[in-house]
Amino acid sequence: MTISEDKAVSVNYYLTASKNNEPEELIEQTSPEHPFVFLYGYGGVLPEFEANLNGKIKGDKFDFQITSENAYGIFEKEYVVKIDKTAFEVDGNFDSARVKVGEDLEMNDADGNRLVGKVIEVTDAHVEMDFNHPLAGYDLHFIGEVLDVREATKEELDHGHIHGPGGHHHH
């Protein structure tokens, strides 16, 4: 069976990423016991990831790269912002337990949309945060193998994701 629309696809891969022609660094590695399973054609993965797997069958190997523009976007300087420290106060006190360099914090923008930002710097006056995706600016390199391709069940198609081993479970 070939990978195409409405198929449940199981792959094992090694993902590395590089930025500005620096050496690649390991981002994620799946295994045959814990593969990446997704529903093809439902927007759950990067479009170019799907395009590179289209037409492959069980046992096919793959090795492809996706540029940052086609992955998680280029690094946007304007997504790095300084926020007044008072925005991080709880009952009048700065939340130093939660707001520290390297932490990812959920915030809401002016329209109420949820964003996740990484704290870069904390000063007396502000907290500097980066709201770029962690892989923004990185070119991705996937090397792997197609482990399985099957028809998705009606329930999976209705829900738009995989159920069962390696997929999403409803609790």
Report pLDDT digits (tens) over 50-87: 999 999 999 999 999 999 999 999 999 999 999 999 99
Bridge partners, residue 145, by sequence: 12, 61
In the chain, the DSSP E strands lie at 7-18, 25-29, 36-39, 61-66, 80-84, 89-90, 93-94, 104-108, 114-122, 126-130, 139-151
Q: Phi first, then psi: what are they for 8, rounded to 5°?
A: -90, 120
Q: Is residue 166 part of a domain?
A: no
pLDDT in 10s for each residue of the chain, 171 residues: 999 999 999 999 999 999 988 899 999 999 999 999 999 999 889 999 999 999 999 999 999 999 999 999 999 999 999 999 999 999 999 999 999 999 999 998 889 889 999 999 999 999 999 999 999 999 999 999 999 999 999 999 998 888 765 555 444
Question: Number of structural domains, the chain?
Answer: 2
Task: Show the DSSP H helices in the chain as ranges.
Answer: 47-53, 154-159
Task: Indicate whether 84 and 68 sit together in one domain.
Answer: no
Q: In this structure, what CATH number is given to the domain that contains residue 47?
A: 3.10.50.40
Task: Indicate whether 35 and 55 sit together in one domain.
Answer: yes
Q: In this structure, what CATH number is given to the domain that contains residue 88?
A: 2.40.10.330
Which domain does 98 fall in, by range?
A: 77-130
Q: Is residue 2 part of a domain?
A: no
Q: Is residue 23 part of a domain?
A: yes
Mean of the per-residue pLDDT values of the chain:
92
